[in-house]
């Protein structure tokens, strides 16, 4: 019981320390948040890029995507990265925000202390429109007919 | 005043515009094959619709203009002006069908931005765009850099007869060879050789920074196309920031600087005339303005303590500045950071850099280094004239693929084009301000669209007013064609309307 209360208090304290922020807020309040611990939730896009014992990961939320610098050992298993074919896994990251990171050539980034997958992504279903297929066939046939007529008109003009 | 347009004039313009549209349609075969290779069936159908629409429109126009002989200057100019607008209309079809745009105007904005190698975009959810659509976006910017008419001349050989007016109409007046067809093919040869070299370089750089081989190849191809054409598109919404790599940034920088140089300079270097690089008025003018603006921007950024060290200053300050000066538009920071952090001095340096632009007869936009160099030479000549006796006669020389004497016609032509750029820059700034954007932000975005740059402080967005989108489309079109073709098109239409009917 006591440990449960302690856990709840710690959880509450942690949400106060690591306020969840979005990309737009990180950009607009960059000087204020510089060097602070923040919490960020976003969809993993593209792929993770290995750099020695670390990786770069880009997380996307409504205000834009942001770079996350994380230890490879801390990386959770990511099943899907956002692309045309899939909606990527959603990750929550806690870490130190840098307005202009001295380690990474001035990038606006977050150095992750903890990363977790909060929602799994999925493959997208492609929808084929029958109307568009018919339209494509019609346009191509019409183009072929006009092309043949153009060549015939050209030949007739050349003969004349 | 223009003579009354005759039916023959219209038929000639239809004929060549049709051939350009057929060229645009045939280009769609590349994203179509990409969609097939990556099993993107919905995109495959979208590109089939686009291909059909472009071929139908192109063949119909060509049918209307059968057998009307060689184009004159006015035909070339009007065809260039109209072809770019018509190409914008048909190339936007796959964009619209993709579902990544909120309106057809947004699609046309992105096509014009791509073709003019501007690089601003109104696309939604770029990070989830299909491989084939990304190929189309970057292909448009690559082809637009060399010129869609240069493409038609080079690959649709039947369009080559009397093609010089068409070539000039697209703001390319450098004849590498007496034959315009030979010149067009050489421009494409230079670009395709660089395409192979650049794609391999960025592919290797991509794999070195942890990108998987196939993805690194695709990104290498796309980013190279955007770099060489000084376009500024990228496959991810963070643009070049996505890669978080100094090495990748340096490789892109080398290619977009190369792309901003005159094709005639590339050709001279290929022929072994390497000294031309150091003597040419364009490279000297570009180096001088870049050095001066780098000092100003760096001073502005250092005064505000924006970046923590020299590396950050290079990767954020210099990279953005040279990206703007070459009219590329690649970014390694967020658009709003420019407004919120950079301060007025650095932003003004950026605006100047974007207006000055790269070299003539290259993929770059802006005033062009040649004109800036000529105007500075003219100022020097006038100063000398004031200081010397009235009877003194002297000639001002400059080096541009050989020693040349500065003539009044060159100065007048350079001054007129610069003046026209300033007029459209002022127009877009005014419309931006009237739409409620702050003056400095309006001016920044206006310089970006007028110089076909693509850097943004956040004004360009799908939510901006339609009138501002239309103004920016006009500025991108007029800036890319360097006004002659645009003025000729308006003059031709006015003459046709005023005279009420055709002869």
Residue B175 banded pLDDT, cuts 50, 70, 90: low
Specify the higher pLDDT residue, A54 or B363: A54
Question: How would residue B335 be classed by pLDDT, with cut points 50, 70 and 90?
Answer: very high
Nearest-CA distance B56 → chain A (Å): 4
Residue B503's pLDDT is 45
The predicted model gives B404-429 an average pLDDT of 94
From A35's Cα to the closest Cα of chain B, the distance in A is 13
- What percentage of chain A exceeds 90 in pLDDT? 80
The predicted structure's pLDDT at residue B76: 85
3-class state of residue A90 by DSSP: strand
Q: Which residues pair with A67 in a beta bridge?
A: A58, A109
User: What is the predicted pLDDT for the residue at B153?
Assistant: 67
In contact, B158 and B65? CB cutoff 8 Å: no
Contacts of B126 in chain A (CB under 8 A): none
Q: Look at residue B258 in the predicted model and tell me its pLDDT.
A: 93
Cβ distance B51 to A140 less than 8 Å, yes or no, reads: yes
More confident residue, A18 or B372: B372
Selected residue of A54, A136, A145, A153 to mutate for chain B interface (largest B Cβ count, 10 A) = A136
Q: What is the mean pLDDT of chain B?
A: 91
Give B90 to chain A, closest Cα distance, Å: 13
User: Which of B46, B97, B312 lies at the smallest CB-CB distance from A106?
Assistant: B312
What pLDDT is attached to residue A14?
A: 45
The string of pLDDT tens digits covering residues B3-52 is 778 888 899 999 989 999 999 999 999 999 999 999 999 999 999 999 99
Instruction: Say yes or no for a CB contact (<8 Å) between B246 and A105.
Output: yes
Q: Angle at CA B240, nearest 5°, toward B217 and A91?
A: 90
Considering only CB atoms, A143 lies closest to which of B55, B128, B340, namely B55
- Give the nearest partner residue to A143 out of B52, B243, B341, using CB atoms: B52
Percentage, residues of chain A above pLDDT 70: 89
Contact A105 B311 (CB under 8 A): yes
Which pLDDT belongs to residue B471? 98
Question: Who contacts B204 (Cβ-Cβ below 8 Å, separation ≥6)?
Answer: none
CB-nearest to A140 from B48, B128, B332 is B48
Confidence bin at A5 (pLDDT 50/70/90): low
Q: Which residues of chain A have a CB within 8 Å of the CB of B244? A: 49, 56, 67, 69, 104, 107, 109
Asked if B244 and A158 come within 8 Å (Cβ–Cβ), the reply is no
Chain B residues whose CB is inside 8 A of the A27 CB are 334, 336-337, 340
Residues 6+ apart with CB under 8 A from B200: B220
In 10 A of CB A149, how many CB atoms? 14
Q: Rounded distance, CA B55 to CA B29, Å?
A: 11
Hey, is the C-beta of A135 within 8 angstroms of any chain B C-beta?
Answer: yes
Q: Which of B36, B41, B49, B129 to mutate to test the interface with A (most CBs of A within 10 A)?
A: B49
Q: Work out the pLDDT band at A7, boundaries 50, 70, 90.
A: very low
Q: Which residues of A touch B48 (CB under 8 A)?
A: 133, 136, 140
pLDDT at B164 over 80: no
pLDDT at residue A13 above 70? no
Question: Residue B2: pLDDT band by 50, 70, 90 thresholds?
Answer: low
Q: Do A135 and B242 touch (CB under 8 A)?
A: no
| CA–CA min distance B452, chain A (Å) | 24
Query: Domain A8-123: what homologous superfamily?
Result: Nucleic acid-binding proteins (2.40.50.140)
Give the gap in angstroms from C-alpha B428 to the nearest C-alpha of chain A: 26
Question: What does the domain layout of chain A look like in residue ranges?
Answer: 8-123, 128-160
Confidence grade of residue B497 (pLDDT, cut at 50, 70, 90): confident
How would you write B357-398 as a 3-class SS string? CCCCCCCCCCCCHHHHHHHHHHHHHHHHHHHCCCCCCCCCEE
Q: Which chain B residue is nearest to residue A43, measuring alpha carbons?
A: B127
Average pLDDT over residues B293-314: 97
What is the average per-residue pLDDT within B398-425? 92
- Asked whether the predicted pLDDT for residue B347 surpasses 50, the reply is yes
A140/B contact by beta carbon, under 8 A: yes
Chain B hits for A48, CB-CB cut-off 8 Å, are 210
What's the confidence (pLDDT) of residue B190? 83
Domain range annotation of chain B: 7-259, 275-464
Which of the 8 DSSP states describes residue B161? T
For B416-446, b/e burial (b = at least 16 CB within 10 A) is ebbebbeebbebbbebbeeeebeeebbbbbb
A130 in contact with B at a CB cutoff of 8 Å? no
pLDDT class for A141, splitting at 50, 70, 90? very high
Q: Where is pLDDT greater, at B384 or B315?
A: B315
CB B134 within 8 A of CB B48: no
Contact A65 B41 (CB under 8 A): no
* Residues counted in chain B: 503
Stretch B94-107: mean pLDDT: 98
Q: Which of A1-10, A49-58, A125-134 has the highest mean pLDDT?
A: A49-58
Test A48 with B237 for CB contact under 8 angstroms: no
The band of B274, judged by pLDDT with boundaries at 50, 70 and 90, is confident
B-chain residues near A135 (CB < 8 A): 49, 52
Is pLDDT at A129 greater than 70 in this prediction? yes
User: A105: pLDDT confidence band, cut at 50, 70 and 90?
Assistant: very high
Cα B38 from Cα B334, distance rounded (Å): 31
Predicted local distance difference test score (pLDDT) of residue A116: 97
Q: Which residue is closest to A83 within chain B, CA to CA?
A: B128
Contact A48 B210 (CB under 8 A): yes
Q: Which of B175-179, B200-204, B407-411 has the lowest mean pLDDT?
A: B175-179
Size of interface A-B (CB pairs under 8 A): 150
Mean pLDDT of A71-80: 96
- pLDDT of B315 reads 97
Higher model confidence: residue A87 or residue B72? A87
Judged against a pLDDT cut of 70, whether residue A10 lies above it is answered with no
Q: List pLDDT tens digits, range A18-50.
A: 578 999 999 999 999 999 999 999 999 999 999
pLDDT for B156 beyond 80? no
Question: Which of chain B's residues have a Cβ under 8 Å away from the Cβ of A81?
Answer: none
Half-sphere exposure of B258 (CA within 13 A, CB side): 21
C-beta separation of B381 from B372 below 8 A: no
Looking at the predicted structure, is the pLDDT value of residue A11 above 70?
no
Residues of A in contact with B216 (CB under 8 A): none
């Amino acid at each position: 019981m006591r440990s449960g209360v302690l856990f709840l208090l710690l959880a509450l304290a942690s949400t106060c320390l690591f306020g969840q922020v979005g990309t737009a807020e990180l950009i607009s309040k960059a000087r204020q948040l510089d060097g602070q611990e923040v919490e960020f939730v976003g969809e993993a896009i593209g792929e993770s890029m290995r750099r020695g014992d670390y990786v770069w990961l880009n997380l996307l939320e409504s205000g834009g995507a942001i770079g996350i610098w994380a230890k490879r050992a801390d990386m959770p298993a990511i099943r899907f990265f956002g692309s045309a074919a899939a909606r990527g896994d959603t990750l929550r990251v806690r870490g130190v925000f840098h307005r202009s990171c001295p380690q990474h050539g001035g990038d606006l980034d977050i150095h992750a202390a903890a990363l977790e997958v909060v929602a799994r992504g999925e493959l997208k279903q492609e929808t084929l429109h029958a109307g568009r297929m018919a339209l494509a066939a019609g346009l191509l046939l019409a183009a072929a007919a006009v092309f043949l007529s153009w060549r015939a008109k050209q030949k007739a003009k050349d003969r004349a | 005043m223009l003579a009354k347009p005759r039916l023959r004039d219209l038929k000639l313009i239809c004929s060549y515009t049709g051939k350009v549209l057929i060229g645009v349609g045939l280009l769609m075969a590349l994203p179509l094959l990409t969609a097939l290779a990556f099993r993107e069936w919905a995109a495959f159908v979208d590109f089939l619709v686009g291909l059909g629409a472009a071929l139908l429109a192109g063949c119909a126009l060509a049918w209307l203009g059968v057998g009307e002989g060689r184009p004159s200057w006015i035909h070339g100019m009007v065809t260039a002006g109209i072809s770019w607008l018509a190409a914008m209309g048909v190339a936007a079809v796959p964009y619209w069908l993709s579902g990544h745009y909120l309106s057809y105007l947004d699609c046309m904005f992105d096509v014009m931005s791509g073709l003019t190698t501007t690089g601003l975009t109104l696309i939604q959810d770029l990070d989830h765009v299909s491989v084939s659509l990304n190929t189309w976006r970057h292909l448009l910017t690559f082809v637009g850099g060399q010129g869609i008419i240069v493409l038609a001349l080079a690959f649709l050989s039947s369009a080559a007869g009397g093609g010089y007016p068409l070539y000039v109409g697209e703001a390319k007046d450098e004849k590498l060879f007496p034959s315009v067809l030979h010149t067009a093919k050489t421009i494409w040869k230079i670009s395709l050789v660089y395409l192979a070299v650049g794609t391999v370089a960025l592919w290797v750089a991509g794999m070195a920074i942890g990108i998987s081989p196939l993805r690194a190849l695709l990104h290498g191809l796309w980013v190279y196309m955007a770099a060489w054409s000084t376009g500024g598109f990228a496959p991810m919404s963070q643009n070049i920031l996505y890669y978080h790599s100094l090495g990748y940034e340096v490789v892109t920088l080398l290619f977009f600087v190369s792309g901003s140089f005159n094709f005639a300079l590339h050709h001279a270097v290929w022929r072994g005339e390497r000294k031309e690089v150091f003597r040419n008025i364009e490279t000297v003018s570009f180096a001088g303005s870049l050095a001066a603006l780098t000092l100003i921007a760096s001073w502005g950024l250092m005064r505000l303590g924006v970046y923590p060290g020299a590396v950050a200053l290079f990767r954020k300050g210099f990279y953005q500045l040279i990206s703007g000066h070459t009219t590329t538009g690649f970014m390694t920071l967020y658009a709003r950071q420019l407004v919120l952090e950079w301060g007025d001095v650095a932003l003004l340096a950026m605006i100047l850099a974007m207006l000055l632009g790269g070299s003539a007869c290259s993929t770059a936009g802006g005033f062009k280094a040649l004109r800036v160099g000529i105007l500075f030479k003219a100022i020097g000549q006038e100063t000398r004239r004031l200081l010397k006796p009235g009877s003194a006669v002297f000639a001002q020389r400059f080096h541009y693929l050989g020693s040349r004497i500065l003539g009044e016609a060159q100065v007048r032509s350079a001054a007129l084009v610069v003046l026209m750029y300033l007029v459209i820059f002022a127009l877009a700034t005014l419309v931006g301000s009237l739409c409620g954007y702050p003056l400095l932000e309006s001016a920044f975005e206006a310089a970006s669209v007028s110089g076909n740059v693509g850097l943004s402080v956040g004004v360009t967005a799908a939510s901006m007013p339609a009138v501002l989108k239309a103004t920016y489309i006009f500025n991108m079109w007029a800036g890319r064609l360097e006004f002659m073709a645009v003025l000729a098109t308006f003059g031709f239409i006015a003459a046709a309307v005023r005279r009420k009917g055709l002869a």
